[in-house]
Amino acid sequence: MSGAAPDAEAADGTAAQPRRLVVAAAIVDSLDRPTSMLCARRSAPAALAGKWELPGGKVEPEESPVAALHRELAEELGVQVRLGPQVPADDGADWPILDHLRMRVWLAEITDGAAAPLQDHAELRWVGREALEDLDWLEPDRPIVRALRDATA
Ligand SMILES: Nc1nc2c([nH]c(=O)n2[C@H]2C[C@H](O)[C@@H](COP(=O)(O)OP(=O)(O)OP(=O)(O)O)O2)c(=O)[nH]1
């Protein structure tokens, strides 16, 4: 149906489920004076392996987005963080990403632990904001990375 919101109705006319939420962190060296960001290179699945992304993952049923983000960062990187502001899309909404998901992104700063690629990532790298766009990001992350670069200027 033309004019319908993309997630309002599936192609077969049945009601579609809202996009499932993924939460992710743009971990910076300092929330007060950010100069670099912790970027993560995926190790799986094969179709995404080698691409760079923001650490995070899917919110489980009954879990709050913020709790999910803290859980994912502890599991994947072994760190505790303090969250800064969210970085939304231009329309103020979550970012559309792969697999018909949507992603909510927060700036964050490590408060405990030394980040290590414990799960899901082959490599972690601190990247200066000027070089962020040089990485081979997952395609939906490109506009997000541009917004993060602006948000940390
Ligand atoms: N974590 C993360 N996922 C992203 C980003 N960009 C993007 O399109 N995605 C997609 C890739 C995946 O389809 C999905 C996240 O899935 P995931 O595999 O990281 O989630 P998860 O850790 O909860 O894993 P699982 O429950 O599916 O096993 O979101 C990003 O910057 N970070």
pLDDT of res. 18: 73
Q: Is 25 in the pocket of ligand 1 (CB under 6 A)?
A: no
CB-CB contact of 22 with 53 (8 Å): no
Domain-located, residue 6: no
pLDDT at 52: 98
Whether 68 lines ligand 1, by a CB cut-off of 6 Å, is: no
Distance 110 CA to ligand 1 centre (A): 21
The ipTM (two decimal places) reads 0.96
Nearest ligand 1 atom to the CA of 105 is: 31
Q: Closest ligand 1 atom to the C-alpha of 75?
A: 22
User: Is the CB of residue 94 below 6 angstroms from any atom belonging to ligand 1?
Assistant: no
Residue pLDDT tens, the chain, 153 long: 333 344 444 555 555 667 899 999 999 999 999 999 999 999 999 999 999 999 999 999 999 999 999 999 999 999 999 999 999 999 999 999 999 999 999 999 999 999 999 999 999 999 999 999 999 999 999 999 999 999 999
What pLDDT is attached to residue 14? Answer: 56
Ligand 1 midpoint to CA 22 (Å): 7
CATH code for position 33: 3.90.79.10
Local structure of 110: helix, strand or coil:
strand
Query: Does 11 fall in a domain?
Result: no
Range of the domain at 135: 21-151
102 contact partners, CB below 8 Å, separation of at least 6: 19, 20, 21, 22, 93, 94, 95, 96
**Mutation probe of ligand 1 site: the residue of 48, 97, 119 with most atoms within 8 A of C-beta:** 97
pLDDT value for 82? 98
In sign, the C-alpha dihedral spanning 20, 24, 99, 95 is positive
In a domain, 119, yes or no: yes
**Structural domain tally of the chain?**
1
Ligand 1 close to Cβ of residue 73 (< 6 A): no
Whole-number pLDDT of residue 19? 83
Task: Note the pLDDT of residue 111.
Answer: 98
Q: Report yes or no on 92 lying in a domain.
A: yes
